[in-house]
């Protein structure tokens, strides 16, 4: 028997890439083509290993799970454990659907002699399919967990689809500096500068790591922003120091805290094929991560949408 390893690799590469793209579309995940190609290359390489003289333990269940997890991390990253498990579950369900579809198509197109190989005859001549009791019990035992798995994965996908309707592209201009990210339109965000009544859009400080001093990043993450303002002109100078503001807000412990904010030249928001522009806005810098799976990096004040829309 002749095995064409290059054709097997190419076929599995294309199938893995297609299933990864379907997974991304189902989970509403953004992806990069080179990462999809790298993940598909990893999966196709594993299939080709079946035809090489390699140790048998490489084809055990645990190793297969490791390769599947590696493919997901290569294609979409890790983010958080919950996000990773949901993406992995979606990928496996897509694989099961494709495998079942291929089996069904093969059964439909199979010749009568191929179908008869799975059938035995009773003494009366009546055809009867062979049924393995152990296999049937195993399938029945998996029905409940698989239904729960299906509901969890696609339930989270539906929630994510609803979330994407409130996402917008945000571009911030400050002098010659421009940064862009995804923002969530949050109607519950009512943060204003108490003196000027300027709406505050909260943004992850990591998006500003190119222009802010490293010491500032640490102080923002530890909520010591008052030390930044007190040190201006004494310990260090900052080119945007006339744009800096301290905005008071109530933290989770109900105590009043301060957030460092920057006054931009303008903010451009792209939502539902509309481009909105606002100049009366402050960008509050948050030291944490606003979304665990990285779906958005900013929280857009609803006043920015209503005023400019």
243: helix, strand or coil: helix
Q: Rounded CA gap, 154 and 20, in Å?
A: 16
Q: Which residue of the set 186, 193, 286, 293 is catalytic?
A: 186
Do 259 and 225 form a contact (C-beta atoms < 8 A)? yes
Contact 297, 167 (CB under 8 A): no
**275, containing H or E segment:** strand 274-278
Q: Is 186 a catalytic residue?
A: yes
**What CA–CA distances, in Å, run from 104 to 70, 100, 101?**
29, 6, 5
The 8-class DSSP code of residue 56 comes to G
Bridge-partner residues for 121, per DSSP? Answer: 127
Contact indicator for 294, 213 with CB cutoff of 8 Å: no
Residue 48 belongs to what H/E stretch?
A: helix 33-48
Active centre residues (catalytic): 186
């Amino acid at each position: 028997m002749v095995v064409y390893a290059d054709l097997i690799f190419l076929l599995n590469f294309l199938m893995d890439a297609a299933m990864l793209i379907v997974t991304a579309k189902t989970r509403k995940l953004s992806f990069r083509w080179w990462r999809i190609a790298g993940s598909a290359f990893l999966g196709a390489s594993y299939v080709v290993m079946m035809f090489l003289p390699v140790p048998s333990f490489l084809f055990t269940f645990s190793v297969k799970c490791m390769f599947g997890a590696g493919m997901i991390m290569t294609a979409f990253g890790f983010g958080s454990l919950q996000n990773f498990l949901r993406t992995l579950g979606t990928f496996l369900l897509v694989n099961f659907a494709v495998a079942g579809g291929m089996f069904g198509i093969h059964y439909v197109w199979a010749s009568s002699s191929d179908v008869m190989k799975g059938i035995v005859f009773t003494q009366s001549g009546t055809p009867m399919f062979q049924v393995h009791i152990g296999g049937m019990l195993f399938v029945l035992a998996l029905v409940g967990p698989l239904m729960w798995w299906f509901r969890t994965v696609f339930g989270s996908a539906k929630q994510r689809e609803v979330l994407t309707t409130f996402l917008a592209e945000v571009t911030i201009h400050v002098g010659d500096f421009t940064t862009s990210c995804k923002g969530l339109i949050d109607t519950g965000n009512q943060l204003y500068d108490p003196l000027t009544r300027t709406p505050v859009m909260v943004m992850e400080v990591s998006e500003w790591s190119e222009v802010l001093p490293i010491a500032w990043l640490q102080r923002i993450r530890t909520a010591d922003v008052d030390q930044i303002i007190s040190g201006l002109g004494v310990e260090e100078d900052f080119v945007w120091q006339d744009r800096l503001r301290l905005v008071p807000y109530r933290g989770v412990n109900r105590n009043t805290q301060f957030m460092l904010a920057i006054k931009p030249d303008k903010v451009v928001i792209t939502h539902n094929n509309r481009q909105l522009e606002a100049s009366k806005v402050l960008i509050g810098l948050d030291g944490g991560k606003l979304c665990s799976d990285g779906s958005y990096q900013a929280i857009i004040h609803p006043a920015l949408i209503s005023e400019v829309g």
